[in-house]
Amino acid sequence: MNLQRTLFRALLALSLIAVASCHSKENAPGGVVIGAILPLSGNDASYGLTARNAYQIAQDDARQQGRVPLHIVYGDSQFDAGKAGAEYTRLVEQEHAVGFVEATGSQIALELAARAAQDKVPILSAVDSTPRLTSHGGDFFFRVIPSDLVTSRALCDWAMKNGLRSAALVVNQQNGWAVGFKGATLTNYREQGGQLPDDAILTVTNETSDFNSGIARLNRNKPQVWFVGLMGRQAGLFVQQAAAQGIKGPFIAVDNLVDPVFVAAAGAEQTATRFALPAAANLSELAAFSAKYQQRFNRLPDFHGFEDYDAYFVMLKAVELVQGSGQPVTGSALQQQLKAMDTQGIMGRIQFDEHHDLVNPTFGVFTYDGKGNVIPVR
């Protein structure tokens, strides 16, 4: 009986440690407190962990540049809007965060944007790309990633130029980003004369991991291209199962395919993908960041790591500009500085339009080389 109790207590202690680790803070005394609501556990944890790793590198780089790093406080959303809301409240009310450097998840961002406008706390995102945030993001939501409407236009342009005029689409209806991607793809592809009828769309949920019967149905129309509105592991499984049915793709999407979890799940079929990404402007800085990431975390960063790094420095610059003007660092002051922001990140120039979307982003179409490395499509 004692042994049972001891074992149970040990297991309980372990779980408490696990929970506590999700609420860890970066120690940067003196820095302005900035929140980050990330999925740090659960199926989509790779997004949150990549962001946290990128911030750690950014903290070190800021110190090396003689700047006072931000004091990042984390909230684990587990990619759930309810948990994200609770973490937002905690970070604003208890930790006194004056801004957010991330609120991962388009649905989460849509819900938090309204609260951020009410509390006058700006949210800057490197991940949330749903087109709805352009119209519903409000005055306090900014993003350093282009809207999917713009990215998907680049993707559809590429498909039409390559003669891919009939398509199928798979989408996770429980994912806010995926629903936005579906809308953007349907609009752009159909406007350009592509054939993507309603019966060429497969709608799935978060629990789906077997797509075989849906793939078999879609394949009866022999689509020339497959749009993938799934994330990470689901996207990988879809591509792998389609390839097992003899489908050669191409499977096209946006930044959702630039994820180590996708690469692991898709296996060798990763080479059948094509995805549109913002064209990197500063290749030497990009390479330097990748080298630091590889050295510190023993893996290469995915695309979001670059955007997260940029988001950190945009927020840091906004803080420094407020401090430089002699004003107290408040959410409203940060918002004003973000509105007027014009800086160069490793992914290109960062300047926001009236909807707080990136001004004139440029894109390239990329694929994988079979070893998980992203390469441009010729």
> Which residue ranges make up the site for another protein (CB under 8 A)?
1, 3-4, 7-8, 11-12, 14-15, 18-19, 21, 40-43, 45-46, 48-49, 173, 198-199, 202-214, 216-217, 232-233, 236-237, 240, 260-261, 264-265, 267-268
Cβ proximity to another protein, 49 vs 68, nearer residue: 49
Please check whether residue 164 is in contact with residue 250, taking contact to mean a CB–CB distance below 8 angstroms: yes
Tokens matching residue 273: 């993908």
The amino acid occupying position 357 is: D
Least Å from the CB of residue 299 to another protein = 9
Q: Which residues contact 203 (CB under 8 A, 6 or more apart)?
A: 171, 173
Q: How far is CA 342 from CA 140, 179, 283, 352, in A?
A: 17, 31, 19, 8
Cross-strand bridge partners of residue 363: 278
Least Å from the CB of residue 258 to another protein = 14
Least Å from the CB of residue 82 to another protein = 17
Cβ proximity to another protein, 215 vs 316, nearer residue: 215
Cβ proximity to another protein, 28 vs 49, nearer residue: 49
Q: How far is CA 333 from CA 123, 268, 278, 324, in A?
A: 13, 49, 29, 12
Least Å from the CB of residue 248 to another protein = 16
Q: Are strands 33-38 and 99-103 parallel, antiparallel or unpaired?
A: parallel
Least Å from the CB of residue 296 to another protein = 13
Cβ proximity to another protein, 128 vs 269, nearer residue: 269
Cβ proximity to another protein, 118 vs 173, nearer residue: 173
The amino acid occupying position 251 is: F
Cβ proximity to another protein, 198 vs 354, nearer residue: 198
In whole angstroms, what is the distance from residue 248 CA to residue 159 CA? 15
